[in-house]
Structure formats: C-alpha cells, structure tokens
A and B are shown apart, each in its own frame.
Chain A
C-alpha cells in the first residue's frame, strides 16, 4: 500500500515535470535572449542579509523569482547557474520611495483656445486623481535601467502631471514585455504636488491648498452619502458620479496614503498643515530641507522619503584679497551646504525613520551623494536601512522585499566590494529573480587617467542628441590645458556655445554639465556616458524637468598629418 502511494507520488511528479517542460517548450524563445535557467546560486560571498546582519562566505540561492535559501550551509539546486562570489558582496536590492522611474511624460496638454481660467477642465487644471501611473508606464523607458544599474530594484513610481496627477504604484525595475509584469502593488498612493496650472485655477500654492481642502471635504460628505445609498438606495437620489471626488474616498478612509512631493521646508510644512487639518495619512517624498522639521514630522505622524539630490558643493573664491564680508558670506554658504549633508544623521538620531527617493536626482551622482551623507554622520547601516528595509516598511512591502530573507522576492545587488566604499562597483543586480550583468571596468592604476584614454577624449566630437523637442546635432570640443580638462558644446538654432563644467573622464566614463538659456532661464543639462573606441554613448538629463534622453557622439577624424618621407 505504502509502495503504491510512493509510486503514485512519483508518477504525479513525473507527469508534473512533463507538463512543466511542455509548458516551457510552449514558451520557447526564438530570439534566444531568455536566460537558460531561472535558478542562481552565488557562492562564497559576503552577504549583508539585512542591515547589520552579515554572513561571511555565504551562499544565496534565488529560484523562480524568490529567495530559496541563504546561509553558509546551503545546498545548491542542480539546475542552478553557479556564480563564484569570492570577494563579492551581496546586498538586498534598493528601494526608491518616490520617482518617475518607468513613467513616460505625457505630451503637455495644449492650452484650450477658449479656456475659462477660473474653472478649467480637470485635465488642464491637473486634477486627475482618478488616473493611475500604470497608464504612463512604458517598459522601454530608460529610467528603469539607469536606476537598476545603481542598485535599485523597486520603485514607488508616481505619474507626471500637476496638482493631483493620479495614483502611484510600486513596480519592479526589471525588463518586461508588458507593464503588468512590473507591478508589485498597484495604485498604493495618491500623488500630489504644489504644481499649478499655467494661467488657470489653481495657479499656485494659494489655489492648490484651497482646492485640496475643498475636494477632500466634499469627498468626506459624499462618501457618507454614497455608503448610505449602497446600503439601501430606495428613496434616495443617485449620488453624483464624480471620479475626482470618488478618488478621494480611500484617502478619506485612510486606506490610501497621500504622497506629497514636498521639496522644501515650506512645502513640507504646508503638506503637514493639510494633513493636520483634514486628517489623512501623509508621506513626504523628495524632501531636501528636513532639518528644522523633526518635531513637526513626529507630532503629525508623517512618513518621509528624503531626496537623494544634494546641492553642488559651493566653490569659494580663490582670490587672495577677498573682503571679510565675502569670507563671511562664503562661510555661511558652506554651512548651509553642510546643513543639507548633516540632516540625515541628525534626523535619524532624533528618531525619524526615513527612506530615500531619487526624484530629481541625477542617477550617476547618487552613490557619491550617499557617501557624502555617510561622511557627514549617517551610519552605513542606517543608510542601508533607508535604502532597503526602512523604505520597504514605509511602503508596506516589507513582507516581500527589503531584506535577503528566504521567501522574499529575488531582489539583490552584487558589488565588487563593500557598497559604501568609493571604488566598489555594482557587478550584477537581481530583480524579481532575473539577473542583470554590468560590465565592470577595472581601474587601471588607481584613479588616474591613462594617457591613451585621454588621447581618445581630446579633440572634436560630433554629437546627435534625441531631445524631446527633436534631434539636435552639434559639436563638442574637449581640450586639456596643463592638468585641467575643459571644453565647449555648440547649441542649435544659432545659440551661443556653452562651456562644459564638472568635466570628468575616468576609466572611459565621461560626464559633464553645461547651462543653456531657455525662455530667460538658465537650465542645467547633465551628460553622462561611456566612450568605446571613438564612439560616445550617453544620456542627457535635466533634473529640473525630470527629463532625459539619449545622446551619442563620434570622434571627428583628426586632420590628416602628412608624413614627410623622403
């Protein structure tokens, strides 16, 4: 009898495998790009399972999207691709508390010709809380890859728009054929910001605050009535169907959190003011000025995601005969800069648990910013917590990600050294159990730039920039005077050339920024990318507008030198 049962079990197992392989065949991939296995074992690595929880010479097994096992005494499944983790460090994948990752900015709505400015249509006013970011997500958006490259595996992505753009969703930063495959938690938040409609109501903070109160209060009344109606509609007139008001119902019921894009001290205070008055669950995202807000954040029970965008370090004048007044002003400006850096450690020590958000930050600067924050007093453990488990808790997804615990989603980072060391590089990232390899260029001799590298860089380049306004072509010319790299870039439409700032070329990676005048404002464009041979492949971004696009360049052939031979 027992034997028979055993046999039945084996048979069913066998049938299961047949079914499985048929299924696998049905999904066969004619492009040949899909991974040969969905099981990975990284062995003999230093695993930071969670902040402060280190496993030396450990093994991490990820199978079918989940963490199967972790530890020093782990059996490796037969179908696993084994990765030698000697000298490598494994971390839980980072979590971005608020960004536009994966979302594609919709075309700006044209001003209607007969716009009645006191009461514009909702989509022009930017009051569309019934919408979802899911409709804006484009799986081919480059922001997914650029965040993943620096270790982020999950993002709370919010929609583009004005005052109330719609719901945010938590997505996995993986390559997918369809948006649905990215979604971890759908429509978790109501996203809002102090962004008025151009020349129409609400035009600025004044109108936005009032409109917020008005919408919320109406929703509070209408919700009660709608509930009564759904219980017993007999004799009641139908509740008015207003999708904007209805979108507020879960916020009124505290089932949905409001994510406020509150960048500055004053914006944060205004968001907290609304929360205290109306009573809803509030999370501040993208906060850059938090140091004076500790009490208000605590008293109001508000959650916070701190921005990973930091101001540029001020450059003091090198003139020798500067006045005492200038010296004072420079000192105060440097203090203000340090305030930005110190706040992270200070806020943590005063009992505020925060995560990070990347909105508005340039992705290539994020690691350097983290290191600066740590140098200024936030412990490495606290920084890692903010990037992983604390962010997961604030988003309510700690049961599925945020640490490398068995059963959680296979989101992990594999680094060539301790992540918070300057020279360590991310070699591999797992998102949802899928492996992404990154080419790690070895530093040739410390941090120096080898002569051959620079020879590639210096000279004239022809660039092609796929800006949102169309393709632009031009030249960039890079020179070296003494030890200093400098350059200019030409601008289209007869605009004057721009000088390149913060020009850096290390191990084939080129980055610089420059300013252009647009509509009377100075806009900073950051360019980053890699040089391979005589080709440059990079990304241009304007963090002010959360816009980025591809830019490529080819080194112009040097003028032929006629070799004199005789």
Chain B
C-alpha cells in the first residue's frame, strides 16, 4: 500500500512537472522517405517519437501501446522548417524612438494569438526567430519560438534555453529613422560611429560594475544600473548572438571590422544581398548569412543583388540560411530553398539545410532541432512529394511530437481570440501588413496614441 501511494505520488509529480513545461507527444511514422539532413535520405524508414523526442529511426519499428501510427508510404519527412527572420507572432516590432535599444526584448511582445502562426505551420515551419525591426542601429533582443499554436500563454511558445540573440541594423533603415528624428545616425558613417561608441560605453560600464562588485556593500554608491549597457556587455562577453540587418558589401565588411576590434565573434548577417561580394571574408570571420532567395530592388541599397547569392555563399563555406521576413513567404520556404537549385545547382541536402540545420546553427539551437537524429526534438514536417518539388504540399507538422497541423482535419477559421465587435466581412487571408513588418511602429504615430496620452 505504501509503495502504491509512493508511485501515485511520483506519478503526480511527473504529471505536474510535465504540465509546467511544454506538452510533448508520442507518434510512430511508418515507411516514409526520411530526409535527415545530417545522415542522408533514408527510404522506407520508420521514426518513433517518445515524449517529444526522436527515439528511434529504423525499419519495422512497432508502435508501443497507445502510440498513434501514421502511414508514411509514399510520403516525405523532413525536419521542421526554421525561419531565421520573422516578424509574425509579435504585437510590436520596433522601438524605433531611440537608435540604441539593446534593453528591449521581443520576448515581451510575443503574441500567441497571431493566426499567421498557424499559416506558417501549414507550410511545415516549426520554429521562428521573432526579430526586432530594423529601424535602429542596435535594436532589441529577438526571441526564438516554437510555433505551439493554440496556447494563449506566450511562455508556451518560447524555445526553451535557446541562446539570446539581438538585432542590429545598417544602411538605409536606421539612417532614415535618424534623419526623420534629427538624431544620429544620418549616414553610414554615423552608424559605425554609433556602434563603436556604444561598445566603448559598455566597456566603461563593465569596469564600473566590476569595481563595485569587488567591494560590494551598503555603504558604497552603486553605479547606475542600465539594462541597455548590461545587454551590450553580454554581447561583448559572447553571450548574445548578433543578427544584423544589412545589404551592402561595404557595410557588411565594416561590421566585421568593428566586431574584430571589440572581439565579438557570433555574427549572422540578415538579408545580406551583397554578401556574395565578400563571401571569402565572411567565411574567414566565421560569420553566417540569412538571405532571401530572389527578393530585391525594393529600395536603392537592394538593387545589386543576385539569385546566386545562396550558392556562392555556400560554395565559399559560409553557413547560409534562407528566411522569409514575411507572413506570406513563410508558408513556402521549401520553394524558396528550391530556387537555390535552379540558381547555383546546390544539392538537395544543401538546399534543404538552408531552411533547417543552417538556421538552427545561426540561432544556436542545432543541438535540439534542424535534423532528424535520435535524441533530437521531434519537430517534423511531412510532405506528399519531395519538399523541393514544385508539387510538394505539406501534410502534417509536428512539434515535440505533437501534431499542430494536419491538412486532413484543417479547419478554415483558426483564430483563437475573436473580437465580438468585428464585422464578418473583415476576415481576410492576407493583409498588406503581413508583408515587410521590418519598419512597423518605426515612424508612424497614429491619432489614437496622440489623443489618448
């Protein structure tokens, strides 16, 4: 009897422990073509998922009691797609009022109710990098999310223990913001000066606090605490990965010089349309690039672009990912990856790595996701055709072994919260704001905010 009580208690403990964390599931996918990314493509293979992790990969695996079995015959399973540049699921994007806002964080504005999350799931995406916008030189910290749609608690979407990352921005966007506000930076020179000034200030701050902490006590004046400086210090100490919005080769090269001077190593260039011009330099620095497949010419600094960017970077040994930066593109990142085969003849594996393993590395989560390996998270996407085929349609999407999208049982209206005062006619598949949210909240002051001080 005592034993029984004990085991019940243990059961309770486990149950309460698991509800405090994200939900995990069990599933067996039978007889599918498994694109592992790290270990080739395996025909007629089974994947067993237990407690949200990939438990076994093999043939003739049996489903343990109570575990759902999915017939994968003729279907393709790949690691869940990872978008290293996204602005869905965020209720604010820019704190563009100041040109250095390292203290702000996208984790504060995660919006689990955004229906764009479901649309991304329907495109096989399981993780995104919710980024701060590009209105300022040093923007806010980003947040890496798992698209666990259906929960109303933003904490449930957090990618547990993902490293912290931060947004930087160079070129036209931050200088446009500077000019419109009459503050620094108003030119590319100002951007560099601002970066160097910020890190130099952070070094002073670091010293002040180190001195205070050495002889800490009530009777010593504490230096002023600054969350902004704390964050910059963490960047200098290598604890935060930098993701920098950039286009031109000269500014990409400039940032690498600045980072070399301050000893900062972990760097990914976002967009980086001219990265192909400095690909060997990127490889030497060890910087990554997260780019569009073939999107450009939407402003002057984005004219000198090529669809061969991905291939050139990859062949030069630069870890490269393809991102969406859009609530629409995110639904077919597998098509975007496929374009790198037309322009540059990358292999299937190289192409698919650009939307799985490579972005996982850029976000520091490659120990958990990005490939199909035993022990990794069961974040999986099932397609009816090879995902690089133009005919490929995503069928199911799993995160931690839980199915979040199934084309078979797809319901039209996926909204979680509905405004009772909304009019029915307003429901739209896509609105203009789903595109290009990089500069959202940056310059715009609406009437409501003004009046309702």
Q: Which residues of A contact B (CB under 8 A)?
A: 108-109, 116-119, 126, 160-162, 195-207, 209-211, 213-214, 217-218, 221-222, 224-225, 227-228, 235-237, 239, 265-266, 269-270, 273, 289, 292, 296, 311-314, 317, 325-326, 328-330, 332-337, 340, 518-521, 544-546
Contacts and interface: CB of A to CB of B under 8 A. Distances in A.
B181 A206 contact: no
Interface string B218-255: 11111011111000000000000000000000000000
Given A118-B183, A296-B153, A518-B447, A204 B453 contact: no
A221 B424 contact: no
11 contacts: A195-B452, A201-B97, A203-B95, A206-B109, A224-B218, A225-B220, A296-B153, A317-B424, A519-B446, A519-B447, A519-B448
By secondary structure, the B interface counts as loop
Given A209-B105, A213-B227, 5 more contacts: A195-B453, A206-B94, A206-B105, A266-B111, A273-B108
Contacts of B109: 205-206, 209, 270
Contact of A333 (B181, B424, B448): B424
A292 B453 contact: no
B6 interface: no
A399 B445 CA distance: 46
Contacts of B413: 328-329, 332
Given A198-B449, A227-B218, A296-B153, A210 B225 contact: no
Contacts of A206: 92, 94-95, 101, 104-106, 108-109, 132, 140
A145 to B, nearest CB: 24
A333 B101 contact: no
Interface residues of B, number: 56
A336 B418 contact: yes
Contact of A119 (B96, B98, B108): B98
B218 A266 contact: no
A207 B97 contact: yes
Contacts of B452: 195, 544-546
Contacts of B225: 214, 217-218, 221
A266 B224 contact: no
Given A225-B218, A270-B108, A336-B417, A329 B427 contact: yes
Given A199-B97, A200-B97, A205-B91, A210 B417 contact: no
A426 B100 CA distance: 56
B135 to A, nearest CB: 10
Given A225-B218, A228-B218, A545-B451, A265 B152 contact: yes
Q: Which 8 A-B pairs have the closest CB atoms?
A: A519-B447, A118-B98, A337-B420, A336-B418, A206-B95, A206-B104, A210-B103, A228-B218
B412 interface: yes
A317 B109 CA distance: 35
A126 B36 CA distance: 53
Contacts of A225: 218-222
A199 B95 contact: no
A209 B106 CA distance: 10
Contacts of B445: 198-199
Given A108-B453, A218-B225, A311-B419, A236 B219 contact: yes
Contact of B448 (A211, A266, A521): A521
B154 interface: yes
A312 B91 CA distance: 24
Contacts, number: 173
A202 B226 contact: no
Contacts of A270: 108-109
B441 interface: yes
B270 interface: no
Contacts of B113: 265-266
Interface in B404-453: 412-413, 415, 417-422, 424, 427, 441, 445-453
B340 interface: no
A337 B420 CA distance: 5
A198 B183 CA distance: 16
Nearest to A311: B420
B371 interface: no
B165 interface: no
B421 A311 contact: yes
A198 B104 CA distance: 18
A198 B450 contact: yes
Task: Select the residue from B225, B445, B448 with max chain A CB neighbours within 10 A.
Answer: B225
A109 B420 CA distance: 34
Nearest to A521: B447
A312 B423 CA distance: 12
A161 B453 CA distance: 6
Interface in B167-201: 181, 183
B356 interface: no
Contact of B446 (A195, A292, A521): A521
A108 B419 CA distance: 30
B33 interface: no
Contacts of A518: 447, 451
A117 B227 contact: no
Contacts of B441: 203-204
